[in-house]
Amino acid sequence: MSVDRKTKSWLDNIAPFNAHKMRLKKKKSALLVIDMQNFFVGSRSGGLGPIDPAVLKNVKNLIDAFRKAERPIIYTRHVHKADGSDAGILGWWWPDMIVEGTSDSEIHQDIKPRSDEKVITKHRYSAFYNTDLEIVLRCQQIEDLVISGVMTNLCCESTARDAYFRDFRIFFVADATGTAYEEMHTATLLNLAYGFAYVTTTENLLTQV
């Protein structure tokens, strides 16, 4: 069943815990597009994708809206060296790594970053870990962070938690994030709603950007 058809049931299930409803501060907001790479979104047989096409569509809609509003869009790419020298425990945990310089490592062509849009290369789940993401956000006086991309329960959730620790307000987009199994997706939505983020939808955010 598609993401679009499931979104209402996800939000209904977490409603008792999704109590910190917020309205986006447009002029203080930025969009994070987490790891929307061919490895996850494309059709390769050995990867963890493809993610539901509805997720890609919703991410694209958010990107278009933020561009129109002239608000920052920050992309991330999760990559490793071919020899695994920067992989650490991830290299043991995940035998199929995304190698820098390969087609798998590139951001999907449908949402390709513009030349003036920031792309962060990372080697761990969180987009804050050993990157300049926080500096970029502080310099642009960002307070509200919209999180989209993959995978819901790994890089998206880790980034959302780290952002919360840094006092950013988190808008986690239920239908613009995706992962390998629905149970993992819904578990993240519940956990984040309980303690870290306002879980919302693409449609809701498009009315505020």
- In tens, the pLDDT along 114-159 reads 999 999 999 999 999 999 999 999 999 999 999 999 999 999 999 9
Give the domain ranges of the chain. 3-14+28-206
Most confidently predicted of 2-16, 43-57, 189-203: 189-203
Residue type, 30: A
What does the mean pLDDT of the chain come to?
Answer: 93
pLDDT at 45: 39
pTM of the entire structure? Answer: 0.94
What is the residue whose two structure tokens read 């494309």?
42
Average the pLDDT over 26-39 and give the result: 96
Q: Is there a cis peptide before residue 50, judged by omega within 30 degrees of 0?
A: yes
pLDDT at 52: 80
pLDDT at 47: 44
Long-range Cβ pairs for the range 64-69 (8 Å, 24+): 65/205, 65/206, 65/209, 66/29, 66/30, 66/31, 66/146, 66/209, 67/114, 68/209, 69/26, 69/209
Name the superfamily (CATH) of residues 3-14+28-206.
Isochorismatase-like (3.40.50.850)
Beta strands in the chain, from DSSP E residues, in sequence order: 29-34, 73-78, 118-122, 144-150, 169-178, 198-200
Torsion angle of C-alpha atoms 137, 139, 142, 147, degrees rounded to 10: -10
Compute how many other C-beta atoms are within 10 angstroms of the C-beta atom of residue 8.
12
pLDDT at 103: 92
What letters, b where the CB count within 10 A reaches 16 and e where it falls short, cover 156-174?
A: bbbbbbbbbeeebbbbbbb
Whether the pLDDT of residue 3 is over 70: the answer is: no
- In tens, the pLDDT along 41-97 reads 865 534 455 578 889 999 999 999 999 999 999 999 999 999 999 999 999 999 889
pLDDT at 113: 98
Q: By CB neighbour count within 10 A (0-12 exposed, 13-18 middle, 19+ buried), where does 15 fall? A: exposed
Residue type, 66: F
CB of 98 closer than 8 Å to CB of 108: no
pLDDT at 95: 85
Compute how many other C-beta atoms are within 10 angstroms of the C-beta atom of residue 114.
9
Distance (Å, whole) CA 104 – CA 184: 23
What is the residue whose two structure tokens read 């995940």?
94
